[in-house]
Structure 1
Amino acid sequence: MANTGVSAPIRPAAREEAIPEQEWFDLQPIEKKLCGYSFGLGVALLVVFIVIFEVLH
């Protein structure tokens, strides 16, 4: 089928229309805890890898 250059208007998804006024909300305590654990694990692994590959090399 040939493209005639005419396209249908792009309509936002239904979920985008239903976004409440307040788009941001506070994290739940478990989410804060998981973020802390993830950050801590990332920093710890960074230190471990630096020690392994730079200091012990």
Structure 2
Amino acid sequence: DVHKRFRTEAHPCAASRFNERFLLSLALCEACIVMDDELNILPISSHMWSITPVPALE
């Protein structure tokens, strides 16, 4: 059991928070863009609003 060393009498249940911490770290990263399956940019952070489209090359 990987959480065995984190359990104490005061805290008998260790919660897995990897996903929550991972998503919060992505929100702080200005070089990360999160998109859905239709390639829409998901606004997980305020720096997403400063992204501007690049004209397509023809």
Give yes or no for TM over 0.5. no
TM-score (norm 1): 0.33
Larger radius of gyration: 1
The answer to which structure, 1 or 2, has the higher relative contact order (CA under 8 A, 6+ apart) is: 2
Q: Specify which structure has the higher proportion of helix.
A: 1
